[in-house]
Amino acid sequence: MKIFEDEYYIERVLQGDVSAYRFLVERYKKMVYSIALKILNDAQDAEDAAQDSFVKAYERLHTFERKSKFSTWLYTITYRLCLNKLKEMKREFTFLTEQLPKWEDGEMVLPGSFNEQDQERIIKESIQALPQQEGLLVLLYYYEEKSIREIEQITGLMASNIKIKLHRARKVLERKLSHLIEER
Amino acid sequence: MKERKLKKTIQKVNLDEPSDAFTGRIMSQIDTIEDLSLEPAIAEIVKKNVATDPSEDFTSQIMAQLTPKRRVVIEPVISRKAWLWIAGVVSLILLVAIMSSRKDQITSPDPHAVIDSSVRLIRMYSQQWILFLIVICSLLLGDYFVRRKWSPVVE
């Protein structure tokens, strides 16, 4: 259903109806921004990169061959654009040099019970604490429900590598969030 | 020769073997990696919380940067004029066929004279006809592919 809707709006944009693009921006802005934020680690840079990604996707929409979902194509643009920005800033995405989690291994020790806001903060911090790339993979796999194949396409990583990183991230998340599960 | 003998001698030596559980352990590790499903409770909260919203005027800032795309009009390979020419040539051929059939009618009053003379005419110029058909088909195919490939818009 989502694909057909995307297709409808893409076609309208290609026919010259710019306003139809608003629908696509609204639908994917959260994910595009989150990907950018995961890679660039700075809210302002991420916002600029996310906007650039949408503009670039618009400019290249006529080259979108429908071999993949529009979202996969868009996230690939975002991912590459962010990596280029990192290069320009002479910073490095933890692609080869894995950064260590900010927290010590082991579950979070938090007193008392958690309200919704606490939960949200803890989860975000847990994901934030993952090495950057693993955080991004969690976002794509668990949140956006992209398949391994689609993630391969977006990131250019090998399937086995993606699986290992996801497996590692899953273990860390389950350990860190075990308090929340027990609470439920 | 000496080398081969040495190889054979070395190959006689049994290699050290890992424990019996070695393969099983690797396979269970692979199975664990293959199973990427999060515990349902965690999956649920991760799904709710992992993505971040951009600023409120995010969409309007993007929309302000976009200019409407205009569709590139691809002229068909066979223009209207060309089709008129083709129609003219075909009509001329038919006319010649009719004329020659009338000449034949004087000698033989055959009711199918027009068809016969047309067939004769086609046979007479068979090579030219084939060439003509190839050209028309190529133009039609070219027309189809050009429209299909380049009809999308560009800025």
SS3 letters for chain A?
CHHHHHHHHHHHHHCCCCCHHHHHHHHHHHHHHHHHHHHHCCHHHHHHHHHHHHHHHHHCHHHCCCCCCHHHHHHHHHHHHHHHHHHHCCCCCCCCCCCCCCCCCCCCCCCCCCCHHHHHHHHHHHHHHCCHHHHHHHHHHHHCCCCHHHHHHHHCCCHHHHHHHHHHHHHHHHHHCHHHHHHC
- Same domain for A134 and A63, yes or no, is no
Q: Comparing C-alpha atoms, which of A46, A54, A128, A30 is closest to residue B52?
A: A30
More confident call, B83 vs A114: B83
Binary contact (A25, B70; C-beta < 8 A): no
Positions in chain A whose pLDDT score sits under 70: 1, 92-116, 179-184
Shortest distance between the Cα of B64 and any Cα of chain A, in A, equals 10
Assigned domain for A13 exists: yes
A window 105-134, beta carbon within 8 A of B = 119-120, 123-124, 127
More confident call, A42 vs B100: A42
- Same domain for A79 and A150, yes or no, is no
- Same domain for A9 and A81, yes or no, is yes
Phi, psi of B70 (to 5 degrees): -115, 140
- Same domain for A78 and A149, yes or no, is no
Going by the DSSP 8-state scheme, the letter that residue B21 receives in this structure is T
Are the CB atoms for A20 and A9 separated by under 8 Å? yes
- Same domain for A68 and A9, yes or no, is yes
- Provide the mean pLDDT of chain B: 73
- Searching chain B, which residue's CA lies closest to the CA of residue A64? B152
- Same domain for A9 and A60, yes or no, is yes
- Same domain for A6 and A84, yes or no, is yes
- Same domain for A80 and A11, yes or no, is yes
Q: pLDDT tens-digit profile of B114-142?
A: 677 667 766 776 777 778 778 878 878 87
Q: Residue A27: how many CB atoms within 10 A of its CB?
A: 17
Lookup: tokens for B2: 């000496």
Which domain does A67 fall in, by range? 2-88
- Rounded distance between C-alpha atoms, residue A160 and residue A137, angstroms: 13
Shortest distance between the Cα of B54 and any Cα of chain A, in A, equals 6
Number of independent structural domains in chain A: 2
For residues B15-32, average pLDDT: 73
Strand partners of residue B70: B154
Which residues of B fall within a CB distance of 8 Å from A51? 58, 61-62, 65
Binary contact (B59, A16; C-beta < 8 A): no
**Which distant-in-sequence residues (6+ apart) come within 8 Å of A69 by Cβ?**
A3, A6, A150
Assigned domain for A104 exists: no
Does the pLDDT at position B111 exceed 80? no
Binary contact (A138, B46; C-beta < 8 A): yes
**CA of residue B83 relative to chain centroid, distance:** 27
- Same domain for A67 and A6, yes or no, is yes
Q: Tell me the CA distances in angstroms from B114 to A2, A26, A183, B7, B132, one per residue in order.
A: 61, 69, 95, 90, 22
- Looking at residue B33, its pLDDT comes to 63
- Rounded distance between C-alpha atoms, residue B82 and residue B61, angstroms: 49
Q: Residue B73: pLDDT band by 50, 70, 90 thresholds? A: low
- Same domain for A125 and A50, yes or no, is no
More confident call, A23 vs B5: A23
Assigned domain for A105 exists: no
Q: What is the CATH number of the domain that holds A60?
A: 1.10.1740.10
- Looking at residue B75, its pLDDT comes to 64
Q: What is the CATH number of the domain that holds A167?
A: 1.10.10.10
Query: Is the interface score ipTM higher than 0.90?
Result: no
Assigned domain for A14 exists: yes
Binary contact (A174, B39; C-beta < 8 A): yes
Q: Residue A140: how many CB atoms within 10 A of its CB?
A: 27
